[in-house]
Amino acid sequence: MRIASDIGGTFTDLVALDESTGAISTAKVSTTPSNFAQGVVDSIDKAAQDAAETAFFVHGSTIVINALTERKGVRTGLITTRGFRDVLEIGRANRPDIYNMAYVKPTPFVPRYLRREVSERLNYKGEVLTPLDLDDVAREVRFLLGEGVEAIAVCFLHSYANPAHEIACGEIVVELAPQIPVTLSHQITQEWREYERTNTAVLNSYVHPIARHYLDHLETSLVGMGMPRESLHVMQSNGGSATFDAAKDAPIHLVESGPVAGVIGAVRIGELIGERNVIALDIGGTTAKTSLVENGMPKITTEYKIEHRRDFAGYPILTPTIDIVEIGAGGGSIAWVDDAGALRVGPVSAGAEPGPACYGKGGERPTVTDANVLAGRINPEYFLGGEIALDVAQSAAAMASIGEAFSIGVEEAAMGVLRIADANMMNALKLVSVRRGYDPRDFTLVVFGGGGALHGAALMRELRVKKTIIPLLPGVFSAWGMLMTDLRRDYIRTLVTRIDRVTPERLDGLLSEMSAQAEREMMAEGIAPDAVVLQRHADMRYLGQEHTVKVQLPGGVIDAAALDEISARFHALHEQTYTFRLDTPVELVNYHVTAFGRVPTPDIQRVDATGNRLETARKGTRRVNFDELGFHEAIIYERDRLPVGEALRGPAVIEEPSSTTVVFPDQTLTRDEYGFLHIEMVT
Partner 1 sequence: MTNAPLTRSSTDPFTLDIIAEMLRASAEEMFVVYGRTAQSPIIYEVLDMACGLVSPDGDLIAEAEGVPGFIGCLSFAVREILDKFPAQTMRPGDIYATNDPYKGGGTHLSDVVLVLPIVYEGALVGFAVNKAHWTEVGGMAPGSWTTDSTEIYQEGLQLPAVKLFDAGEPIQGILDVIEVNVRLPQMTMGDLYAGIASLRAGERGIVSICNKYGAAALHETMSTLLARGEQIALARLAALPAGEYTSEMWIDDDGLSDDPLKVCVRITIDADSFTADFTGSAGQAPGPINTTWTGLLVAVREIFKEALDSDFPNNDGFFRPLHVICPDGTLFTAQRPAPVSTYWETGAYISDLIWQALFPIASDKLPVGHHLSICGTIISGVDEEGERGQFVLVEPQAGGWGAMTTRDGMSGMVPSGDGETYIMAVEVCETRYPLLVDQFAFNTEHPAGSGQYRGGFGLIRDYRVLSETADLTATFGRFKFPPWGAGGGADGSSNAVEIIPAGTDAPALRKGKLARYRLRHGDVARLITAVGGGYGHALDRDPALVQRDVRNELLTPMQAHIFYGVAIDPDTLAVDAEETARLRLMMRETSS
Give residues in contact with partner 1 (CB under 8 A): 82-87, 89-105, 111-113, 123-124, 129, 157-158, 160, 192-196, 339-344, 406, 415-416, 419-420, 423-424, 427, 430-431, 435, 462, 496, 498, 501, 542-547, 578-580, 582, 584
Query: Please, what is the minimum distance in Å from the beta carbon of residue 421 to partner 1?
Result: 11
Q: Using CA atoms, how far apart are residues 355 and 376, in angstroms rounded to an integer?
A: 19
Query: Please, what is the minimum distance in Å from the beta carbon of residue 632 to partner 1?
Result: 20
Cβ nearer to partner 1, comparing 157 with 227 = 157
Element (H, E) at 60: strand 56-60
Q: Using CA atoms, how far apart are residues 375 and 367, in angstroms rounded to an integer?
A: 12
Cβ nearer to partner 1, comparing 103 with 674 = 103
Cβ nearer to partner 1, comparing 303 with 505 = 303
Element (H, E) at 614: helix 614-617
Cβ nearer to partner 1, comparing 96 with 509 = 96
Q: Using CA atoms, how far apart are residues 491 and 292, in angstroms rounded to an integer?
A: 22
Q: Using CA atoms, how far apart are residues 555 and 559, in angstroms rounded to an integer?
A: 11
Cβ nearer to partner 1, comparing 100 with 616 = 100
Cβ nearer to partner 1, comparing 10 with 578 = 578
Cβ nearer to partner 1, comparing 435 with 613 = 435
Query: Please, what is the minimum distance in Å from the beta carbon of residue 496 to partner 1?
Result: 6
Return the closest-CA partner of residue 293 out of 310, 280, 312, 309: 280
In one-letter notation, the amino acid at residue 649 is R
Cβ nearer to partner 1, comparing 177 with 343 = 343
Query: Please, what is the minimum distance in Å from the beta carbon of residue 582 to partner 1?
Result: 6
Backbone angles phi, psi at 621, to 5 degrees: -135, 165
Query: Please, what is the minimum distance in Å from the beta carbon of residue 20 to partner 1?
Result: 50
Return the closest-CA partner of residue 372 out of 428, 321, 333: 333
Q: Using CA atoms, how far apart are residues 151 and 174, in angstroms rounded to an integer?
A: 11
Backbone angles phi, psi at 5, to 5 degrees: -130, 120
Contact yes or no for 537/549 (Cβ under 8 A)? no
Q: Using CA atoms, how far apart are residues 175 and 183, in angstroms rounded to an integer?
A: 14
Write a three-state SS string for 620-637.
EEEEEECHHHCEEEEEEE
Distance spanning both ends of the chain, measured CA to CA: 43
Cβ nearer to partner 1, comparing 85 with 208 = 85
Query: Please, what is the minimum distance in Å from the beta carbon of residue 250 to partner 1?
Result: 21
Radius of gyration of the chain (CA): 26
In one-letter notation, the amino acid at residue 563 is L
CA distances in angstroms from 292 to 267, 325, 383, 440, 471, listed in the order given: 10, 9, 30, 10, 17
Cβ nearer to partner 1, comparing 92 with 142 = 92
Cβ nearer to partner 1, comparing 427 with 503 = 427
Residue 553 contacts by C-beta under 8 Å, 6 or more apart in sequence? 511, 536, 537, 538, 562, 566
Dihedral Cα 11, 23, 266, 304, nearest 10 deg = 40
Cβ nearer to partner 1, comparing 184 with 470 = 184
Q: Using CA atoms, how far apart are residues 31 and 159, in angstroms rounded to an integer?
A: 41
Contact yes or no for 54/227 (Cβ under 8 A)? yes
Query: Please, what is the minimum distance in Å from the beta carbon of residue 545 to partner 1?
Result: 6
CA distances in angstroms from 240 to 297, 317, 603, 668, listed in the order given: 12, 17, 19, 35
Cβ nearer to partner 1, comparing 110 with 210 = 110
Return the closest-CA partner of residue 29 out of 21, 37, 40: 40
Burial 111-147 (b: 16+ CB within 10 A, else e): eeebbbbbebbbeeeeeeeeebeeebbbebbeebbee
Return the closest-CA partner of residue 91 out of 183, 198, 188, 184: 198
Q: Using CA atoms, how far apart are residues 49 and 554, in angstroms rounded to an integer?
A: 44
Query: Please, what is the minimum distance in Å from the beta carbon of residue 368 to partner 1?
Result: 14
Cβ nearer to partner 1, comparing 423 with 524 = 423
The conformation of residue 134, written as its DSSP 8-state character, comes to H
Query: Please, what is the minimum distance in Å from the beta carbon of residue 162 to partner 1?
Result: 12
Cβ nearer to partner 1, comparing 48 with 101 = 101
Write a three-state SS string for 413-436.
HHHHHHHHHHHHHHHHHHHHCHHH
Contact yes or no for 217/40 (Cβ under 8 A)? no
Query: Please, what is the minimum distance in Å from the beta carbon of residue 108 to partner 1?
Result: 11
Query: Please, what is the minimum distance in Å from the beta carbon of residue 433 to partner 1?
Result: 12
Query: Please, what is the minimum distance in Å from the beta carbon of residue 102 to partner 1?
Result: 6
Query: Please, what is the minimum distance in Å from the beta carbon of residue 97 to partner 1?
Result: 7
Query: Please, what is the minimum distance in Å from the beta carbon of residue 407 to partner 1?
Result: 10
Query: Please, what is the minimum distance in Å from the beta carbon of residue 376 to partner 1?
Result: 18
Query: Please, what is the minimum distance in Å from the beta carbon of residue 475 to partner 1?
Result: 29
